[in-house]
Amino acid sequence: MPSSHPLPLSCHWFSALATALDPRSAPRLAWPFVGVVLARGRRTVTNWIRAAGLSAEYRPCYTAVAAAGSRPDRLAARLLREVVKPLVADASRLTFALDDTPTERYGRKVQGAGVHHNPTPGPPAGPGVYGHVWVVLGLLARHTAWGVIALPLLARLYVREKNLPAIPTKHRPVFRTKLELAAELVRWAVSWLGHLGKPVWVVADGAYAKAPFLKAMRTLAVTVVSRLRKDSALWTVPGPRAPHRWGPNRVYGERRIDLAKRARQTRGWATGTFDLYGKPTEKRYKTFVATWCPAGGAIRVVLVDEPKGWVAFFCTDPDATVADILTSVAGRFSLEITFRDVKEVVGAGQQQVRFLRASVGAFHMCLWAFTMTEAWAWKRDEKELAGHRSASPWDDTTRRPSHADKRRAWRRELLGNEIRAALRTGLCMVK
């Protein structure tokens, strides 16, 4: 093995994840995880192998990355049990964030790649991006000092139907929409965490507020929080059934609700202070219960008066409070921050692999490295993580440590253990 001494306890997570694979591939996957943390520069799989000291065994390492892409659900279950579950043990409910994100790739022979909408186009970029699109499920965990952090657990690769024929039949997946992939991810999470007996909430982007996803969540008894279109066909809550009428109770009311008219009305507005984005924030809001066909029944609607105009949110639990809904919506933004760090700091999408399973395995290794880094730093002192900022006088000394700070601190610990093992007492003593 590349290391000459036992690794710290946190690195045993690598072995715990690798046990989901065949015994022949497990050791070859555990050590590349060390390379994911130690790699610098462009974080390709080749750099992972170099950083882990496995250059002589580079072919089995590539095979192990592809093996991880063939069984991501099993490895994610190990991650959930060994790493993530202790971080949310005291939470009253489990809140998951759901969204999709693209990773830019190059080359026509990259399986599953295509032209997709670019959600964050910069000045030199166009409205489209060539690469992969991933539907990602993250668990929202609240830190006492750092606020809400989204810990990515599992992802699904979305391939457009017209791009499927370019994939060989042996490796070609069945076409599924993003809504179907999202429902599959939540179903996986419920199967592994449902035994805890805690309510499960999912906060998703407005693109997932559609009937196929919402009805699947209703079947799983999962509460959904998302954004509501301003032209949504809402109806009033039905009244009690007349005594002389037979049959089941009505699900939808008889009068249509126009959100724009409700927002223009001056009555019904209230003001409250909520803990959003790590600080108390005052919001002007209006809330009511309505019925909506895609959700299959009653929902709680919250209109928020923002500087650029009103926005609408909903929750499939009519008894939910405004504070619960707005804090969940604000917590979903942490998944966007996770996407940025996974791409810029961990290097997701930079792995130069072409085959479908290898791309899936490499992306998940980046996601899991992010989650394990956050778990490693969860109970550590901020000064230890941030290091000395005297060389950067423009930096804010009071800000919370970034993911890059935590990654550098974990790298220092790994390298420090290796150096101390090489300089053990008595080995370098001069007689």
Q: What percent of the chain is modeled with pLDDT above 70?
A: 90
The answer to whether residue 183 scores a pLDDT higher than 90 is yes
Q: Residue 145 — very low, low, confident or very high, per pLDDT cuts 50/70/90?
A: confident
Kind of pairing between the strands at 270-276 and 279-292: antiparallel
Residue 225 · residue 249 · CB < 8 Å: no
Q: What is the pLDDT of residues 191-238, one digit of tens each?
A: 998 888 899 999 999 999 999 999 999 999 999 999 999 999 999 998
Q: Look at residue 4 in the predicted model and tell me its pLDDT.
A: 46
With 60 as the cut, is the pLDDT of residue 425 above it? no
Q: Read off the pLDDT of residues 305-349 as tens digits, 9 standing for 90 and up.
A: 999 999 999 999 999 999 999 999 999 999 999 999 999 999 998
Domains of the chain: which residue ranges? Answer: 10-376
Of 40-44, 179-183, 278-282, 412-416, give the range with the top mean pLDDT. Answer: 179-183
- Whether 160 has a pLDDT exceeding 80, the answer reads yes
* Range 10-376: architecture per CATH: Alpha-Beta Complex (3.90)
For residues 428 and 357, give the distance between their C-alpha atoms in angstroms, rounded to a whole number. 47
DSSP assignment of 18-58: HTTS-TTTHHHHHHHHHHHHH--SS--HHHHHHHTT-GGGH
Structure-token match 């000395």, residue found: 388
The Cα 99–Cα 236 span in angstroms is: 30
Residue 53 zone, left/alpha/beta (φ > 0; ψ -120 to 50; rest):
left
- Position with higher pLDDT, 225 vs 384: 225
The answer to whether 259 touches 319, Cβ cutoff 8 Å, is no
The lowest-confidence range among 12-16, 141-145, 344-348, 361-365 is: 12-16
β-pair partners for 283: 272
Say which amino acid occupies 1: M
Q: Which pLDDT band, with edges at 50, 70 and 90, does 430 fall under?
A: very low
Mean pLDDT over residues 35-57, rounded? 86
Tell me which residue of 152, 238, 200 sits closest to 316, measured CA to CA.
200
